[in-house]
A and B are shown apart, each in its own frame.
Chain A
Amino acid sequence: MESAEVLLLARAQFGLNIGFHILFPSLTIALGWILLYFRIRYARTGDSAWLATYKLWTKVFALSFAMGVVSGITMSFQFGTNWPGYMLKVGNIAGPLLAFEVLTAFFLEATFLGIMLFGMNRVPGWVHIFSSAMVAIGTTLSAFWILALNSWMQTPAGHVMEGGQIIAGDWVKVIFNPSFPFRFAHMLIASGLTAAFVVAGLSAWRLLQAGDDASARKTLRTGLALAAVRAPLQIFVGYLHGLKTLEHQPAKIAAIEAIWKTEKGVPLVLFAIPDDERRANEFAIEIPKGASLVLKHDHDAELEGVDAFAPDAAPVAPVFFAFRAMVGLGVLMLALAWAGVWATRRGLLPSRRMLWAFAASTFIGWIATLAGWLVTEIGRQPWLVSGILRTAGAAGGASGAQIGVSLAGYIVTYTVMLVAYLVVLTHLAGKGAHP
């Protein structure tokens, strides 16, 4: 088999794994904090409805967490099996960051999760609340380290060459590299939105099934209120993230906006079908000078196009479409959340049609997160670590047949797991919380 095809298989396999994995942390990072809120509300009020709510959502959390753990373990092996060149080249940076994730986050969350899930009757209340807090802190710490590493791969900083090896010169600069604060904030809010819509959506599902349910009303309102605050915040942070990307990764912006030629007064392409072969847009709907205005705050400013980076330019079409999917879903989330907050004001129950809309958008955050992840990862191609290591230079020696067998195995396993997950989640939500 051609090595290019093997590389594509290796990327497909890793992409499948990481795309499957990202679903669950993006839910549990924020859900951990929501659970802590439910738990504290119960401790404060002694109201058994809060306890029932807490217990129901703990089940959702436990299930999602287990899915994240097992797919995460798989990923830790795939670093080595699929991308051995990655560790050889930048292992002295990536290694310690991953090690810190295991040491500070994985053990913390895994150990205290046991107490949080099964220890409520065995430890005093404050120890249980403490354990829930440790789980939430653990998931967030885990995001901190992994996003520090991912951001470093996007915008490397703080490293030096010594004896032909890349090592850290300044760990603070490595961790707090230029894109990290924006990416970390963007991911945490994305998690917040994902969890808020899952909570609201499954609560709406329960209300549709049961007619009415005090606990589901509470959680519907909680989810919608959280989403209503986070959606505009996310759009703002995403915009700042984009400006930072223009500064450090202009090639990615060229792909996002489908700008083929470097010029002044670049139009904003609302929709088009970018053609990577011909390097042109078809059926383009544009706002004249819009991209220059949005990105440089000057309608005549010059923006670099794909031609400035070729042959090291990212493929335009997938990045362009994924970005538009992400932004479109972001705006849709904003509209849904605000409409929902209005419809649930003063304890009102929304109409059935509206409940259906929330139920249908339960996993809207997942799709937006995946789209955003595609933008940032494909937008970095052909680099694995910007300017330092090419994706093709990191691939391993596994044969096409080996990767084919394992890819088939993963696809079957993930499909079974995802179907079972969705069945159980809707089943749990349909039954609701029982004090």
Chain B
Amino acid sequence: MSLDLPLVFAALMGLAMLMYVLLDGYDLGVGMLMPGADEREQELMVASIGPFWDANETWLVLGVGILLVAFPIAHGIILGALYLPVVAMLVGLMLRGVAFEFRVKAEGWHRELWNWLFWFGSFLASFAQGVMLGRFITGFHPGFGYYLFALLVGAALCGGYVLLGAAWLILKTEGDLQRKAMGWARWGLAWVALGVALVSLATPMVSPTVHAKWFEDFPSARTLALMLLPLASVLAGWVLWEATGRMKRGEREFDWMPLLAAAAIFALAFAGLAYSLFPYVVIDRMTIWEAAAHPSALRVMLAGVVIVLPLLVAYTAFAYRVFRGKARSGLYE
């Protein structure tokens, strides 16, 4: 039996994108929450993500890299259609990335400026990614309604990243900042619920293919089983709400639970999207097999992935272990 290489790479690309959204999602979320904190809290917030953001962003390079090298035709179509939001995202990521360094080294109004750029870069990158998602899942259709939809997804993804960022802060901080983060997390959850509902309703309406996949022979065993996805998302949302409630009542041992629940919501939403889109890489236009690169290129890359991925997981786990526990200030001194 020969390996279905395009399928393997579609799975790898999905994994890389999900990892990116979860990992850079929390640090972009923390960046967007900066204006809600005082100066001392801001130091802690940046200290909690300082050691990680760089490696987190590398997942984006990997995800886009797989799209580029495994599905070159689709890469041209997708990035061509998303030209301007991609530029906006890149400018945002650039400003945010260098602001880590500049904000601690600058003084006076320069520091104020870089703090502002840190927030603005985080926001711009998150919003642009949401717009990209919104355009992608509606097949890049032109038209006012579609653009409005993309902007709403942009706002919803910002909410989602705020949720991840707040949940991260609940895990990594304590005291007043942690209590603030609980409030932020609940706000983020409301936004996420809105965003997930929006996307779930819009995709079947836009694409008959997606509609058929979810509702064609409703109620059959398959479509009923699919309803477990939204149910599980609601459950994860409830767990998150409940966990923040318990923590507010002083049950500190639950500090890891909001992050886990938030990650579960993202993973479930991702699974739903993946199910909707499969086997298309550009919805209703191009499947992963039509877009795939030559098998010889895919084989050599797969060999690389198989060798490197375990090492990557091992040293990433090691880095998270080194910086486990609550964040402390003074990281950048």
Contact = CB atoms under 8 A, between A and B. Distances in A.
Interface in B77-91: 79-80, 83-84, 86-88, 90-91
Interface in B286-319: 293-294, 296-297, 300-301, 304-305, 308-309, 312, 315-316, 319
For B98, B300, B312, the residue with the greatest tally of chain A CB atoms inside 10 Å of its CB is: B98
A77 B60 CA distance: 10
For A88, A114, A409, the residue with the greatest tally of chain B CB atoms inside 10 Å of its CB is: A114
- The secondary structure that dominates the A interface is helix
B72 A111 contact: no
Contacts of B54: 65-66, 69, 110, 113-114
A107 B55 contact: yes
Nearest to B73: A88
B51 A73 contact: no
For A65, A92, A111, A168, the residue with the greatest tally of chain B CB atoms inside 10 Å of its CB is: A111
Interface in B227-274: none
B57 A69 contact: yes
For B57, B62, B65, the residue with the greatest tally of chain A CB atoms inside 10 Å of its CB is: B65
Nearest to A65: B54
Interface in A48-84: 59, 62-63, 65-67, 69-74, 76-77, 79-81, 84
Interface in B112-148: 114
For B79, B305, B316, the residue with the greatest tally of chain A CB atoms inside 10 Å of its CB is: B79
B55 A168 contact: no
B297 A92 contact: yes
B183 interface: no
B76 interface: yes
A427 interface: yes
B75 interface: yes
Interface stretch (A116-124, A248-256, A294-302): A116-124
B294 A114 contact: no
B64 interface: yes
B64 A100 contact: no
Contacts of A413: 91, 94-95
Contacts of A77: 64, 79, 86, 90
A111 B312 CA distance: 9
Interface string A84-99: 1001100111111011
Nearest to A406: B87
Contacts of B293: 91-92, 95
A2 interface: no
A406 B83 contact: yes
- The secondary structure that dominates the B interface is helix
Contacts of A93: 297
Contacts of A103: 62, 304-305, 308-309, 312
B58 interface: yes
For A73, A107, A115, A428, the residue with the greatest tally of chain B CB atoms inside 10 Å of its CB is: A107
A417 B293 CA distance: 37
B322 A99 contact: no
Interface size class of B (residues with CB under 8 A): 35 or more
A283 B54 CA distance: 52
Contact of B58 (A81, A84, A102): A102
Given A87-B72, A409-B91, A73 B61 contact: yes
Nearest to B95: A413
A88 B315 contact: no
B101 interface: yes
B50 A76 contact: no
A110 B58 contact: yes
Nearest to A63: B101
A35 B324 CA distance: 26
Interface string A182-193: 000000000000
Contacts of A80: 64, 67-68, 75-76, 79-80
Nearest to A417: B98
A277 interface: no
A98 B65 contact: yes
B69 interface: yes
A85 to B, nearest CB: 8
B275 interface: no
A355 B110 CA distance: 29
Contacts of A114: 50-52, 54-55, 319, 323
28 contacts: A63-B98, A66-B98, A66-B100, A66-B101, A69-B97, A76-B65, A84-B76, A84-B80, A87-B68, A87-B76, A91-B68, A92-B296, A95-B293, A95-B301, A96-B301, A96-B304, A99-B66, A99-B301, A100-B304, A107-B55, A107-B308, A107-B316, A112-B315, A112-B319, A118-B50, A118-B51, A402-B83, A405-B84
Interface of A: 59, 62-63, 65-67, 69-74, 76-77, 79-81, 84, 87-88, 91-96, 98-100, 102-104, 106-108, 110-115, 117-119, 122-123, 162, 165, 167-168, 171, 396-398, 402, 405-406, 409-410, 413, 417, 420-421, 424, 427-428
Given A80-B76, A167-B294, 20 more contacts: A69-B97, A80-B68, A84-B72, A87-B75, A87-B76, A91-B68, A92-B294, A94-B69, A95-B68, A99-B65, A99-B69, A106-B58, A106-B62, A107-B308, A110-B58, A113-B54, A115-B319, A117-B51, A165-B294, A168-B300
Interface of B: 50-52, 54-55, 57-58, 60-62, 64-70, 72-73, 75-76, 79-80, 83-84, 86-88, 90-91, 93-95, 97-98, 100-102, 105-106, 110, 114, 293-294, 296-297, 300-301, 304-305, 308-309, 312, 315-316, 319, 322-323, 331
- Report the 3 A-B pairs with minimum CB-CB distance, sorted nearest first: A95-B69, A84-B76, A114-B51
